[in-house]
Amino acid sequence: MTDRLQSVDRLLERREAISDLGDALRLLIEHATATEAPTEELRRAAERIRQAAGPLGERIRERTEVAAADDLLGGVRMYNPVIGRGSALAPPVHVESSNGVAVGTCTLGLAYEGPPMYAHGGVSAMLLDQMLGHAVTSSGKPGMTVQLDTAYRKPVPLMTALRLTAEVSQVEGRRVTAVGAIATAERPDEVLVTATGLFVALRAEQAQRLFGPVMRPRAS
């Protein structure tokens, strides 16, 4: 096997392990949120979790370093808080996007609760920001969100399969507008939350100023 194939294998294996750890953390968070276990059990669990966290903290990256398993240009972000399989915060949303249109699916557990039984409004905004971002990126003009307007028409139910949609609606020079919505998978035409986002493609000097350190090749 060539070195390149071996390193691709190692990368895939690492991503698989990161996803597995992410699944375990999400299970932990969901159980820790939903648990009505005895107080003593909570204390024991906290101790065990601290012990498990220790070795992971022995080698950590700086803010200016991209995760070794990520591929920025290829759009692989293992720890993105919406889509990242390795992120304990991410539902995670599964997204397909092309030509300025994005469709996503996810189910939100109790950890995302705002009003009882329903999602926190900030979580809905976060999901939609990400979805609009995918639509914009897939249109070939990636940018950063400079404005996000959300309208909450009906509450988003937890523990229910959701369908998220987004599409580019306008392109004006460096400014790209996209619109999106959250519905349940069962009733995709019944809109629960909508969002309109304005994205701005960065000028080269802006990209350099904001992302200079992570754009440099990794020292081996």
Ligand X SMILES: CCCCCCCC(=O)SCCNC(=O)CCNC(=O)[C@H](O)C(C)(C)COP(=O)(O)OP(=O)(O)OC[C@H]1O[C@@H](n2cnc3c(N)ncnc32)[C@H](O)[C@@H]1OP(=O)(O)O
Site for ligand X in 104-133 (CB under 6 A): 129-130, 133
Report how far residue 194's alpha carbon sits from residue 128's, in angstroms, rounded to the nearest whole number: 8
Is 174 a binding residue for ligand X by CB under 6 A? The answer is: yes
User: 202: buried, middle or exposed (CB in 10 Å: 19+, 13-18, 0-12)?
Assistant: middle
Among 143, 117, 126, 133, smallest CA distance to 179 is for 133
Is residue 43 packed enough to be buried (19+ CB in 10 Å), middle (13-18) or exposed (0-12)?
exposed
Closest distance between ligand X and the C-beta of residue 70, in Å? Answer: 12
Q: Which of 146, 151, 159, 161 binds ligand X (CB under 6 A)?
A: 146
Residue 11 touches ligand X, criterion: CB under 6 A: no
3-state secondary structure of 165: strand
**For residues 118 and 199, which CB has a smaller minimum distance to ligand X in the complex?**
199
Binding flags for ligand X, 52-91, as an x/- string (CB under 6 A) = -----------------------x----------------
In DSSP terms, 151 is beta-bridged to 194
Among 137, 139, 165, 194, binds ligand X (CB under 6 A): 137
Q: Which residues of the shown chain bind ligand X in the complex (CB under 6 A)?
A: 75, 129-130, 133-134, 137, 144-147, 173-175, 198, 200, 202-203, 206
